[in-house]
Amino acid sequence: MPKQTGVKQLAQNRKAYHDYFILEKLEAGIELAGTEVKSCRAARLNLKDSFCTVKNGEMWIHGMHISPYEQGNIFNRDPDRDRRLLLHKREIRHMHDKMRLDGLTLVPLSVYLKDSRVKVELGLAKGKKLYDKRDSAAARDASREIDKAMKERNR
């Protein structure tokens, strides 16, 4: 059987881009059970309100929901359980220091398949204030208006 290559997006955390400034990005593997991998391949997962913490020198993801696999019966795990992320110690230490000293948060931005392995893109994030969100919305609306005007002008 040939090995799959390429990247396939499975889930994205759009709310993270709305609620946070993303300062730094990092790719990590995730430790999953067999039926969880099958659910991920079917894109039956949700990253909303999920975040990462460090416990005993290991990085864990909390609040990530992976729906139970339909044919998994007794082998299905709890859909909301904490899952370990696969990172090098120096990467964990670097992220933990940033989180602790600078008061930043580590949030999952997306989950994707990369060469048949499930990967998580993590973002080191700083929370937005309400006025920051309003500024982002105003800038987005302005760029839409500009694009619309340019499109009509080019007709």
pLDDT value of position 67: 86
Tokens of 99: 């989180």
Element (H, E) at 40: helix 34-41
Residue 99 has pLDDT above 70, yes or no: yes
pLDDT value of position 133: 83
Residue 74 has pLDDT above 90, yes or no: no
pLDDT value of position 80: 83
Q: How far is CA 23 from CA 63, 105, 123, 141, in A?
A: 22, 10, 7, 23
Average of per-residue pLDDT across 25-30: 94
For 7-129, CATH gives 2.40.280.10
Average of per-residue pLDDT across 45-63: 92
| Domain residue spans of the chain | 7-129
pLDDT value of position 111: 94
Confidence category of residue 6, pLDDT binned at 50, 70, 90: confident
Residue 85 has pLDDT above 90, yes or no: yes
